[in-house]
Amino acid sequence: MSLAYIKTDHKASLAENSQSDSAVVSIEYNNIDQFLKHIEKRAFHMARLSTRSLEDAHDIVQESMYKLVQKYTDKDSSAWKPLFYRILNSKITDYYRRNAVKDRLFPWKKTDIEDAQDYFNTAVEQGIARSSEEPDAMMIRQQNTAKLASHIQALARRQKQAFMLRTWEGLSTRETAKAMGCSEGSVKTHYSRAMIRLRSMLEDDYND
Amino acid sequence: MTKIPVTEFTDDLKSLEENTQATDVFRLARSRKTALKQESPSYSGIKWLTAGAFSAVLAFSLILPFGSDSLAPESNIDRVVLVKSSSDETAEEIYEEDFYYWLDIYETELLVSND
């Protein structure tokens, strides 16, 4: 891939950033229970893709929910989402730090990392697809989802966060910046790099 | 080459979310309830640590009675009391009978020499 191509693509991705910002729709939640119910599965998969561990993903989501309820129930419901993802991301960062310390102290003991293929084999076995889809469309979706998820795991941590929050959760650049604790410019950079990387890795699969 | 639209990625990720395993959905619901009630959260890691600590204590308490009697605190106290009482008696006996025998000898010798 040439440098000129990357630059053009980067510009296109940045433009995509501002376009998708306008499409962000905020949902009003009546209470925090409703909010958590809406967000829990996505948060769990984000944590699982980030940690590659089922148990740790559950622990991280549980801790994040607990902290949100403990500290921010009184806040306006529109603030819950960025706050929750801020907590979730800091818990994931803590997880990485703890593992780095563990690896230094006990180099012979490897962290139990879930293999991307194992994760997606179970996902495929379950039949990831929509019931309305035709069998061949279901099959393609299963394969694409498995590949997409394994490539997301391979992204750098910040790129992964920016991509998941923008694409999956549909946060605006500003909300993503709040959730990640960085500037909007950094979010745009991380997001566009993630998009370039994913597109280059998945173009053959998605264009088939 | 056609660029993959973002919506394709979004759709696939939503499929992943919609097809979350039932066991995970159950665990998430339990976590939510725990968070809402603000009960102390249960961690899988802590569960293992607690189980490990408990089994270690249990194993220690099972091994202890057969392993060594010296660690039993009651027997130690008895022994100390025994040693103390016996040493007191000996001291009195020495003082009364044996310890000053040389004084008597010395006095007797002095008397004989004076005579």
For the cut 80, the answer to whether the pLDDT of residue A162 exceeds it is yes
> Could you tell me if residue B4 is inside a domain?
yes
Q: What is the mean pLDDT of chain A?
A: 80
Nearest chain B residue (CA) to A140: B12
> Could you tell me if residue B37 is inside a domain?
yes
Residue that wins the pLDDT comparison between A177 and B77: A177
Contact A207, A144 (CB under 8 A): no
For the cut 70, the answer to whether the pLDDT of residue A70 exceeds it is yes
pLDDT band at A145 (very low <50, low <70, confident <90, very high): confident
Contact assignment for A141 to B2 by CB distance below 8 Å: no
pLDDT band at B106 (very low <50, low <70, confident <90, very high): confident
Q: Which of A40-44, A46-50, A162-166, B83-87 has the lowest mean pLDDT?
A: B83-87
Contact A145, A128 (CB under 8 A): yes
Percent of chain B past pLDDT 90, that is, above it, reads 13
Task: Please spell the DSSP secondary structure of B75-99, one letter per residue.
Answer: HHHHHHHHHHHHHHHHHHHIIIIIT
**B103 in contact with A, Cβ within 8 Å:** no
Q: What is the pLDDT of residues B43-73, one digit of tens each?
A: 666 666 777 788 888 888 887 765 555 555 5
A interface test, pick of B2, B11, B12, B36 with most A CB neighbours within 10 Å? B12
Closest CA to B24 of A145, A62, A87, A106: A62
> Could you tell me if residue B38 is inside a domain?
yes
pLDDT number for residue A62: 94
d(CA A129, CA A109): 38
> Could you tell me if residue B14 is inside a domain?
yes
Size of interface A-B (CB pairs under 8 A): 111
pLDDT band at A2 (very low <50, low <70, confident <90, very high): very low
What b/e readout covers A130-153, taking b as 16+ CB neighbours within 10 angstroms?
Answer: eeeeeeeebebbbbbbbbbbbbbb
pLDDT number for residue A37: 92
Mean pLDDT of A171-196: 92
**A65 in contact with B, Cβ within 8 Å:** yes
Domain that holds residue B17: 1-42
For the cut 90, the answer to whether the pLDDT of residue A185 exceeds it is yes
For the cut 70, the answer to whether the pLDDT of residue B81 exceeds it is no
**A46 in contact with B, Cβ within 8 Å:** no
Domains of chain A, first to last: 1-25+155-208 (1.10.10.10), 31-111 (1.10.1740)
Q: What is the mean pLDDT of chain B?
A: 73
Cβ neighbours of A207 in B, within 8 Å: 1-2, 4
Q: What is the pLDDT of residues A76-89, one digit of tens each?
A: 888 898 999 999 99
Of A50-54, A108-112, A135-139, B101-105, which one has max mean pLDDT? A50-54
Total count of domains within chain B: 1
Contact B32, A37 (CB under 8 A): yes
Cα distances from B80 to residues A167, B64, B88, in angstroms, run 76, 22, 12
> Could you tell me if residue B5 is inside a domain?
yes
Residue that wins the pLDDT comparison between B95 and A67: A67
Q: Tokens 């997409």 sit at which residue?
A: A148
User: Hey, is A118 helix, strand or coil?
Assistant: helix
A interface test, pick of B6, B39, B48 with most A CB neighbours within 10 Å? B6
Percent of chain A past pLDDT 70, that is, above it, reads 74
Contact assignment for B12 to A141 by CB distance below 8 Å: yes
For the cut 70, the answer to whether the pLDDT of residue B79 exceeds it is no
> Could you tell me if residue B28 is inside a domain?
yes
